[in-house]
Amino acid sequence: MSDDMTRTFESRPVTPPSPGASASGPVVPDLRAGLRRLSQGLIAYGAIALVVAAIAFGALIWVNGRIGNLRTEVETTITQLAATTDHTASALRDASATAGTFSTTLDQVSKTLPVVSDRITGLRADLSGLEAQLRSVNILGATPLGGAADTVGKVSSSLDGIDTQLAIVSTALAANSQSLAANEASLGRLADSTQALATRLGSGTVQDSLADVQVLIVVILLVFTALSLVPAVGAIAFGVWLRRELAQSGA
């Protein structure tokens, strides 16, 4: 059997090595060209990605600056608005107190005027009686107190209708007192609401929110820049390494 195996191996033709073979192993020429194009594509992709990363980094700096300026403007405006709102609340509270004081004064006056009206009515009755008594004085057919009676009558006539006018004024003052009391309550509520707004504006909540938004935008742009930069560097490094390996293999 050994003689048969020897004759079989001797009868097989020996295939010569291909022209593209080397000591490190055979490499197909078409595969080398494809790898060369792949390395060029990787380097081109990395260069474009680096440009995109640079643009993203520039946009990051620009946006951060714009947001910083906007944040400064907003903080200044909010500070001024908080101070103005606080002053407005103080003014409204003072107006509420003034309305309350004036309402109390009008209420007291409206209660006093009916008393004055009643006294004027009684005074007119007394003056009318005095006029009649003065005119009743008769000495030998003469009325020496007639002039005084005429004067008293004029005074009584001048007081005619004042009691009615005072009653009308008293009613109007009572209505105005109620309106001012309602205004006092409204101004007080508005002052409290304005003061609460001033406190909220001065608490720094809005400023902190703007700072959080700025940090969030910066982080997003940094992540985008990193996502553009890391593949770019990797593609360029792999493309350069591949070209170097192809050059060494060709040599």
- What six digits make up the tokens of 181? 């009391």
pLDDT given for residue 5 in this prediction = 40
**How much is the pLDDT for 12?**
45
Which burial class, exposed, middle or buried, applies to 187 when counting CB atoms under 10 A from its CB (0-12, 13-18, 19+)? buried
Phi-psi region of 161 (alpha: psi -120 to 50; beta: other; left: phi over 0): left
Measured distance CA(76)–CA(64) in Å, rounded: 18
Spans of all domains in the chain: 33-250
- Per CATH, domain 33-250 is 1.10.287.950: yes
What was the pLDDT predicted at 11?
45
Q: Are 231 and 49 in contact (CB under 8 A)?
A: yes
pLDDT value at position 7? Answer: 44
Closest CA to 163 of 121, 128, 125: 121
What's the full length of the chain, in residues?
A: 251
pLDDT per residue, tens digit, the chain (251 aa), is: 434 444 443 444 444 444 444 444 444 556 777 777 887 888 888 888 888 888 878 888 888 888 888 888 888 888 888 888 888 888 888 888 888 888 888 788 878 877 887 777 777 777 777 777 777 766 666 666 677 777 777 777 777 777 778 778 878 888 888 888 888 888 888 888 888 888 887 777 777 777 888 788 888 888 877 877 888 888 888 888 888 887 777 65
Report the C-alpha dihedral over residues 8, 11, 12, 17, rounded to 10 degrees: 140
Distance CA 40, CA 242 (A): 9
